[in-house]
Amino acid sequence: MKTNLDWLKQYIRESQAKYPSISNNYTDVLNHVFFVNGNGVELEDGLFVQYVGFNRTIPFEWYYANQKSFEDCCSVLSDDDCYVEKEVQWIYDSSFKPLNTFKKVHKPDEALSDNDLYSKAYTKFSSRYDNVVSIDSVESWDSEDVIYESLLAHKYEPYLNLSPEYFKLDKFNEKTSKELVNFAITYCRAVIRWITVYEEGRPIKGLFGKHSKDHDYVGTWRKDKEILSNIIARLESFL
């Protein structure tokens, strides 16, 4: 049965297909949409909208109404020669060329030809979905417990560093669909549980590398939990 959240699920599918390196699971996408400032996603009067040119926008519910599986989304991109060429070139330029340039100067015996480098870049591109857990493989993806388990599977500890009135959930209002508001409340509750696990002693993995021990994680977590609790109360007023 189609629900008012089908459009959100489709947005997540397409995001995971297009940006697999930063969306290993679906909560990577939702954290970006809900909590990251300047994330490229726009809201107009409480509604997510897609810019379509000439200062025109359409609601996400319309733009993402055509449902495609994650596999179909991946196939569409893989069949786009321009997309493939652009992505392989980016991998070549960012991952392999700098190191190979260094080797040409300091370790010439280990340097590779451009053809070999492009081959390695293409191999890396071809395996880009190996570690992606697509939303299509997750049952009850909109339940609090499943969201929480997905958050715990993240590579790094929680670090939202929320600023009121900037992140997208703080821009929801009375016109935001009740189903999306309910889901946002559920999501915030799961995030609070995720933060609490680390606050209570789960080992920090090191988002800030060697400087992690000097960072005030606890202070940030407490601030984020307070802001999320306030957001939940505000969202509940719309129901």
What is the average per-residue pLDDT within 95-116? 86
Cβ atoms of residues 30 and 12 within 8 Å? yes
pLDDT given at position 215: 77
| Segment 197-220, tens digit of pLDDT | 999 988 887 665 555 666 788 899
How many other C-beta atoms are found inside a 10 Å radius of the C-beta of residue 172? 21
Q: Per-residue pLDDT for 49 more than 70?
A: yes
- Percentage, residues of the chain above pLDDT 90: 71
Cβ atoms of residues 225 and 217 within 8 Å? no
Q: How far apart are CA 42 and CA 24, in angstroms?
A: 23
| Segment 54-95, tens digit of pLDDT | 989 999 999 999 999 999 999 999 999 999 999 999 999 998
Q: Per-residue pLDDT for 2 more than 70?
A: no
Helix, coil or strand: residue 59 = strand
Helix, coil or strand: residue 50 = strand
Map out the domains of the chain as residue ranges: 6-71+139-236, 80-126
Structure tokens at 161: 């560093």
- Tokens 């449902």 identify what position? 67
